[in-house]
Structure 1
């Protein structure tokens, strides 16, 4: 298995001139920063069904029966929905090992949300559609991290997506190397603080589920159920409140090893993070310093400290 996560990506976001107007939507963060740490599998669904570049624009049509169809804007009688659905049915089974997918916003084939819908008379409707290819992608792989280029400009959503990508990649590697109860338990143990930062109710629910792993004769079935639960928890962006609880919890491990002055300094940094005055990198850097000075076997295993490469600089934002 590839040592790097492999991401599916709408071809136009890589800089390929595959859009209907012959252009592209190259995304700098993805191709200049993230590309150092992942591999890509580009696809343009519209070209994949045989459409040329340039080509007439497509749009989503909400029919009177409530169906969503994909048709040309200049010739609404020309429907390519079946072609797109057939391509998705053929393509999607071959990408089960992907760790994520980045799609092009607003596209009638690739848009993840808020794609404009039209009625059969060409009247503009609400922005509440999903591109046909991406709809099939998310239905086939509901646990897969999927984001669109526009949303990835939001620092919270960007970090959340990247974090999920690396988590799923590690889980996929665990499966590829051969599932064992010990391996699954060790994986979950490494992610405990990370899950707690994302969703406390989810953390409390998944713990007893994992504790009953011995009741499962089929580890593959356990893996499938665990993957769904894990990725659902991680999909909820970690909040400042939850991060603060985790940071305070970690601080407790050093109460006997550091001085009163150091404890007060650490508490002030965490409180300033909670108030939005500092990025989370500030308390984490201090905690990692104390962890290096006073090693703790459990904390040293926690993926929470380094959920993705530091060079992506995703923990610098204060917002």
Structure 2
């Protein structure tokens, strides 16, 4: 009888993080932005590697704050709020590129929101005259993304949203799987096996991407292995940034139910269908129909379906599917 094994870590996953989120007093005013969720919950799974780009480029504590400044459609620069001749744009870009290129061990990155260096989005951008202009992303994170586009990144404040939290953590664990199983031992076989066990998780995030990568892998053996791997993981991680919804989860649950249609009697099948429908209507969280589905898959499912990471994309102790 196949078994659905819970995800158990043999070692913590390396994740980059803005230093201030760990309570380090590195902000411009000597303060910090300690994150209880990062320190008290995610620290059970993540091994943190703190970094403050503003400290790394030589700005001290306390220091004159910097802000993003741009004219028209120009890319923002990081300038001093009092002395606009202080321009640390290039230094922050270099810091982001350096981390992106050299810290290939990282599986994810958690950032401080609103920061002109680390803010992922909606960072205030000003006109040179000091009037608000638009919004953008921090200079450091802009270069980090360009240097390592597959690295999962998220702002700490956005982890309060259950869907965004699930999305980021699922991407971190999927990327860790890639690093361990494919990148560490490159082969077409391991590439196919990775896709095979991740396919329903991918389907939940982006059905079109699931179809596209399936077609790509059908011809991937014609490409040099390094090219096939690079093209696959870039596409996979991009598709995984799409947020799974009740609609897409329901679609995956119905697909998985299909593996049981010849094994279940009508009463059990109806019970499962009712649980999935209650989830689709928003009456119960995802964990309810999923627990029932896993119960029957353990008894009647094939080894292939029981190995799907969708069933356990991260340790169940995190309780993320209780809220989506």
Flag whether TM exceeds 0.5 (same fold).
yes
**d(CA) in 2 for partners of 1:65, 1:198:** 32
Looking at structure 1, the residues matched to 94 and 277 of structure 2 have their Cα atoms a distance apart, in angstroms, of 54
Partner residue of 2:210 out of 198, 203, 207: 203
Match of 1:13 in 2: 21
1:40 maps to which residue? 48
User: Is the aligned partner of 1:110 residue 2:91?
Assistant: no
CA offset at residue 174 of structure 1? 2.2
The CA distance in 1 between the partners of 2:209 and 2:168, in whole Å, is 18
1:24 and 1:162 map into 2 onto residues whose CA distance is 24
1:129, distance to aligned residue in structure 2 (A)? 1.7
- Counterpart position of 2:128: 120
Are 2:165 and 1:158 aligned? yes
Among 225, 230, 239, the alignment partner of 1:233 is 239
The alignment's C-alpha RMSD in Å is 1.6
Query: CA offset at residue 162 of structure 1?
Result: 0.2
Deviations 1:101-159 (A, max 9, x none): 11111101101111111111222222x12111000011111221111112111110010
Does the 8 Å CA contact 2:122/2:136 hold for their aligned counterparts? yes
- The residue number in structure 2 matching 1:219 is 225
Q: Is the 8 Å Cα contact of residues 101 and 148 (structure 2) preserved in structure 1?
A: no
Change (3 A) 1:67 1:255: closer
Q: Distance in 2 between matches of 1:77 and 1:65?
A: 21
Give the C-alpha shift of residue 201 in structure 1: 1.3
Query: Which stretch of the first structure deviates more once superposed, 90-99 or 48-57?
Result: 90-99
The separation in 2 between residues aligned to 1:299 and 1:91, in whole angstroms, is: 38
Are the equivalent residues in 1 in contact too, given 2:107–2:172 (CA < 8 A)? yes
Distance 1:88 1:244, change over 3 A: closer
Structure with more relative contact order (C-alpha pairs < 8 Å, separation 6 or more): 2
Q: 1:65 deviation in Å?
A: 7.7
- In structure 1, the partner of 2:148 is 141
1:246 aligns with 2:252: yes
Partner SS for 1:250: helix
Matched, 1:273 2:286: no
Unaligned runs of 5+ in 1: none
- Alignment gaps of 5+ in structure 2: 1-9
2:77 alignment counterpart: 69
Normalization by structure 2: what TM-score? 0.93
Shift of 1:60: 0.7
Kindly provide the CA deviation profile for residues 166-203 of structure 1, in whole angstroms up to 9, marking residues without a partner as x: 00111011244321111111111001111111111111
Q: Is the 8 A contact 1:63 1:69 kept in 2?
A: no
Q: Deviations over 1:263-293 (max 9, x none)?
A: 1111111000000011110011001111122
CA deviations 1:39-66 (Å, max 9, x no partner) are 1111000011111111121111114682
8 A contact 1:64–1:120 mirrored in 2? no
Task: Tell me the number of residue pairs that the alignment of Structure 1 and Structure 2 aligns.
Answer: 315
